[in-house]
Structure 1
Amino acid sequence: MGTWDVGPFDNDTAADRCGNLDDASPDARRGLARDTLARAADTADRLDADIGDEAVAAAALLAAQCPGGEPAHPHYGPKLPVPDLTGLRALALRSLDRVLTEPSELLELWAESDGDSWHATVNGLRSTLAPHVIRLPTTGRSR
């Protein structure tokens, strides 16, 4: 079936990866997510679409643990609890940046179809994962 929608879990690769996560021991789940993100972030050559799909899904699992994050897909996401991944935010952002940077097979494939919606999904994950800067009000006095 391949890919059926723009969501992070709306493709066979991501759904299979979530199944692998469920099959892993509880202690191994964080490492699997970290390795998935690192594999995408550290790819210097053309990024394979499957690696990109897996990275987007892993980033979505992490984003689900952040304020404002959407929960994982109830049918295609993991069925078992996901360990705390919030310490991997910087790595997840790097992996999403790599997915969105040429040469990326996933980027090329989405350019051929509903790329705007897919970009919106990935950029929504980036916004959820990005550290938010809190600006303090200024008093208007100079020092």
Structure 2
Amino acid sequence: MGTWDTGHFDNDTAADFSGEIDDAPEAGREAVIRKALETAIAPTDYLDSDEGAPAVAAAALVASQCPGGEPVTTAYGPDNPLPVLATDLRPLAVKALDAVLGENSELRELWDEGGDKEWALGIARLREVLVAAG
């Protein structure tokens, strides 16, 4: 996975996920986001980084529509507008973030190995917004 910074969309997989959202018809964009979150929380022994990165990006999109959420302004996020997302995505996004931060997550392992704590702090901020809006 090519990663250039600690932001939620600052890697190849998340940027590709944004393209997938843009390629979906407007009515199908929420389903793309939901699928990314559900994939991360599906029962498996190990969460691959190629599943974790889209889940983080999806959670950022959900959080952006919550009170206190930050808008997604990066050039690597979706270009096309999102519909108002269903509020039931909020607890799903929290579960997905918990999986990404869990002990069986490749994405967490990669960031731990790199020694950069900023990524995990960004995930924690997303989680706080989602829980508060829950």
* TM-score band w.r.t. shorter chain: over 0.9
1:87 corresponds to: 88
TM-score relative to the length of structure 2 = 0.93
Cα distance per residue 1:30-79 (max 9 Å; x no partner): 11100110000114211000110000000000111111111113311001
TM-score relative to the length of structure 1 = 0.87
In structure 2, what residue type is equivalent to 1:58? A
Report the CA distance between 1:119 and its aligned residue: 0.7
Are 1:64 and 2:64 an aligned pair? yes
Report the CA distance between 1:87 and its aligned residue: 2.6
5+ residue gaps, structure 1: 134-143
Q: Are residues 74 and 117 of structure 1, via their aligned partners in 2, closer, same or farther at CA, if it must alter by over 3 Å?
A: closer
2:11 corresponds to: 11
- Kept in 1, the 8 Å contact 2:67–2:133? The answer is no
1:136 corresponds to: none
1: CA distance, partners of 2:74 / 2:120: 22
- Kept in 2, the 8 Å contact 1:48–1:106? The answer is yes
1:104 corresponds to: 105
Which structure has the greater CA radius of gyration?
Answer: 1
Aligned length: 133
2: CA distance, partners of 1:31 / 1:59: 13
C-alpha RMSD of matched pairs (Å): 1.6
Q: Are residues 64 and 114 of structure 1, via their aligned partners in 2, closer, same or farther at CA, if it must alter by over 3 Å?
A: farther
2: CA distance, partners of 1:34 / 1:93: 12
Q: Are residues 90 and 112 of structure 1, via their aligned partners in 2, closer, same or farther at CA, if it must alter by over 3 Å?
A: same
Q: Which has the higher helix share?
A: 2
